Chains A and B, each alone.
Chain A
Amino acid sequence: MPISDDSLKSRCENVFGDSLDPERRSLLIATVENMEKGHPLLRERLSPQTEPAGHAGFLRSLAREK
């Protein structure tokens, strides 16, 4: 979901105490959007029953099998 410049500015002020200049804000938006690009790829690859904490459970099951 695209981030609006206003919402980014306000969150930066809230957490960091600065609002960043417009150039750095657009760089940050590009970074976040690049990271979020993986989201649809992930969605396509996941089965509905996959649980969020499944990785830790899987490692524990491997440890038990040893």
Chain B
Amino acid sequence: MINDSTILTAAEIVTQIKERTISAVEVTEAHLERSEKVGEVLNSWIRLDSEGALKAAQEVDAAIARGEDPGPLAGAPIGLKDLIDMKGLPTTAGSIIDKNNVADSDALLARKIRRAGGVILGKLNLHEFAFGPTGHNPHYGDQKNPWDTERVTGGSSGGSGNSVATGQVSIAIGSDTGGSIRIPASLCGVVGHKPTHGLVTKSNCAPLSWSLDSFGPLARSARDCALMMSAIAGHDPADASSIACDPPGFMGGLSKPIEEFRVGHAREYYEQRSEPPVAEAVNHLAKTLQEMGAEVVDVEIPDVETAFHAAAVLMVAEAATVHEKNIRDNAQDFDPAVLERIRPGFFISATSYIQALRFREQWTKRICREVFGGVDLVLAAATPIPAALRSQASGTVRGKEVEIRTLMISLTRLWNFLGGPSTAFPSGMSEEGLPLGAQIMGAPFADHHTLSFVHQLEQRGVVKVEKPPI
């Protein structure tokens, strides 16, 4: 048994709690202590719910004492991005406008985690209204990168990324509209899974852009992401975008050997859009996969620029619709940078929005046919550069200067438009000692395959989640 439970994965914690070598209360206390200490430095939390967490942990221990199974997440410390309702606590969405917006019930997502025995420690910090890929927040503090606190975590799920990387929680729930799970996972050096659109409930979770939003886990292993997906995936009749289907077998699917995957290497997609060390790490991984016996072939993703344009139109138009009332009533309380990002949404023509929706179906069908007709998964970089400085307004890729927010989402946004799953994972470290990230992308409902791919690489020591110095 290891004394410091904050360095354990959720799966290891659950095993030890069920074997009664450690109690859920002890695990919760250790994680709360770390959250108070490290979370303060990294601006990880908007609100810790110590009382609620300890009560939930006591219930897990009591169930075990009675000989009952408290569930697959028994005693695992979990953080929720503050878009998700928890009964009795405000859901701020990272804004001061909603700071008194107390939820009168748990979102189904939170209920599912509790039912599985997970202990929710509180609400994690984020980019205001989840509308930004860096983790800046003027109200609750910029989320800071655990590898260098002068740098961004990536966003919008920045508190989810830095809390998982530093052992404040074993799993965090984030949301991903243009990369908001995968970007912080990549920049903080952890695993992040953006599920198939409609696979995880969004009821009573604050939206950014309905047709692109997905909620999913960040963790220190693909197994932990699969464990969480097993608990939260499934149909929710109250969520209009929820899909009525049996979710894939996430845990069972982890055993698929790497040799059985046909991997498309989307070299053309990411090479010119990322800095050389990022691209080299993915190219090296592709070679390693071949040496391990996987079939790796170059693939081209068709019509990338058009899809990117259409995704941008959907995102800003829907975000403007979501926030119109708030803007009319409280424009002065918005982060000015977020307000300026929403503003173009009020000027997109109705025909542009509808054409983007129409194109989306056609393009998705084409990707399923032309790309996934030949390969199981597609490998690419997740973020084009390692974590930027928090003061940085732009970044350089292949000699071209690009505005930082546009740059950060340049490799992730496409899969929100597709609606497919994508798992981001560490692919190495930069010369400055910052994590580099790759992603493995699947066809809709191939979530178990993207997670299995990363799990298999972890098992073979090819993918490693390192511990940051803090």
Q: Which residue of B lies closest to A1 (CB)?
A: B349
Contacting residues, chain A, for B313 (C-beta < 8 A): 35-36, 38
Give the Cβ gap from A9 to chain B, nearest Cβ, in Å. 12
Can you list 17 residue pairs at the A/B interface with Cβ under 8 Å? A1-B349, A12-B343, A15-B328, A16-B339, A18-B331, A38-B309, A38-B312, A38-B313, A38-B356, A39-B352, A42-B306, A42-B352, A42-B359, A46-B359, A59-B364, A59-B444, A62-B443
Give the Cβ gap from A53 to chain B, nearest Cβ, in Å. 7
Q: How far is the CA of A11 from the CA of B196 in the complex (A)?
A: 36
Contacting residues, chain A, for B356 (C-beta < 8 A): 38, 42
Contacting residues, chain A, for B306 (C-beta < 8 A): 38, 41-42, 45
Q: How far is the CA of A39 from the CA of B419 in the complex (A)?
A: 21
Are A43 and B355 in touch, CB under 8 angstroms? Answer: yes
Chain B residues numbered 277-295 whose CB sits less than 8 Å from any CB in chain A: none
Encode contact with A along B311-347: 1 for CB under 8 Å, 0 otherwise: 0110010000000100110010000000100011011
Tier of interface size on chain B: 35 or more
Chain A contact residues, majority secondary structure: helix
Contacting residues, chain A, for B343 (C-beta < 8 A): 12, 16, 28
B362 at the binding interface (Cβ < 8 Å):
yes
Are A50 and B347 in touch, CB under 8 angstroms? Answer: no
Contacting residues, chain A, for B364 (C-beta < 8 A): 55, 58-59
Contacting residues, chain B, for A36 (C-beta < 8 A): 313, 348-349, 352
B19 at the binding interface (Cβ < 8 Å):
no
A residues near B, CB below 8 A? 1, 3, 8, 11-12, 15-18, 28, 31-32, 35-39, 41-43, 45-47, 50-60, 62-64, 66
Contacting residues, chain B, for A31 (C-beta < 8 A): 344
Kindly count the residue-residue contacts between A and B in the assembled complex, taking CB atoms under 8 Å apart.
Answer: 117
Q: Which residue of B lies closest to A38 (CB)?
A: B309
Give the Cβ gap from B406 to chain A, nearest Cβ, in Å. 11
B20 at the binding interface (Cβ < 8 Å):
no
Contacting residues, chain B, for A11 (C-beta < 8 A): 346-347
Give the Cβ gap from A8 to chain B, nearest Cβ, in Å. 7
Are A42 and B211 in touch, CB under 8 angstroms? Answer: no
Contacting residues, chain A, for B464 (C-beta < 8 A): none
B11 at the binding interface (Cβ < 8 Å):
no
Are A50 and B309 in touch, CB under 8 angstroms? Answer: no
Evaluate whether A64 and B352 lie within 8 angstroms (CB atoms) in the complex, with A47-B362, A55-B364 already known.
Answer: no
Q: How far is the CA of A18 from the CA of B445 in the complex (A)?
A: 45
Contacting residues, chain B, for A16 (C-beta < 8 A): 327, 331, 339, 343
Query: Which of B245, B346, B352, B361 lies in contact with A55, CB distance below 8 A?
Result: B361
Query: Which of A35, A52, A56, A66 lies in contact with B354, CB distance below 8 A?
Result: A52
Are A15 and B324 in touch, CB under 8 angstroms? Answer: yes
Q: How far is the CA of A12 from the CA of B342 in the complex (A)?
A: 12
Contacting residues, chain B, for A1 (C-beta < 8 A): 349
Are B310 and A59 in touch, CB under 8 angstroms? Answer: no
Give the Cβ gap from A46 to chain B, nearest Cβ, in Å. 5
Contacting residues, chain B, for A64 (C-beta < 8 A): 245
Q: Which residue of B lies closest to A46 (CB)?
A: B358
Contacting residues, chain A, for B303 (C-beta < 8 A): 45
Q: How far is the CA of A52 from the CA of B445 in the complex (A)?
A: 22
Q: How far is the CA of A59 from the CA of B242 in the complex (A)?
A: 10
Q: How far is the CA of A43 from the CA of B348 in the complex (A)?
A: 15
Interface pairs A-B: 10 shortest CB-CB: A38-B309, A54-B361, A63-B245, A42-B355, A52-B357, A55-B361, A50-B358, A32-B347, A55-B360, A42-B359
Are B359 and A45 in touch, CB under 8 angstroms? Answer: yes
Give the Cβ gap from A39 to chain B, nearest Cβ, in Å. 5
Contacting residues, chain A, for B309 (C-beta < 8 A): 35, 37-38, 41-42
B63 at the binding interface (Cβ < 8 Å):
no
Contacting residues, chain A, for B244 (C-beta < 8 A): 60, 63
Q: Which residue of A lies closest to B306 (CB)?
A: A41
Q: Which of B343, B364, B444 has the most CB of A within 10 A?
A: B343
Contacting residues, chain A, for B444 (C-beta < 8 A): 59, 62-63
Are A35 and B316 in touch, CB under 8 angstroms? Answer: yes
Q: How far is the CA of A26 from the CA of B445 in the complex (A)?
A: 43
Chain B residues numbered 441-467 whose CB sits less than 8 Å from any CB in chain A: 443-445
Q: How far is the CA of A28 from the CA of B346 in the complex (A)?
A: 11
Are A3 and B241 in touch, CB under 8 angstroms? Answer: no
Contacting residues, chain B, for A46 (C-beta < 8 A): 355, 358-359, 362
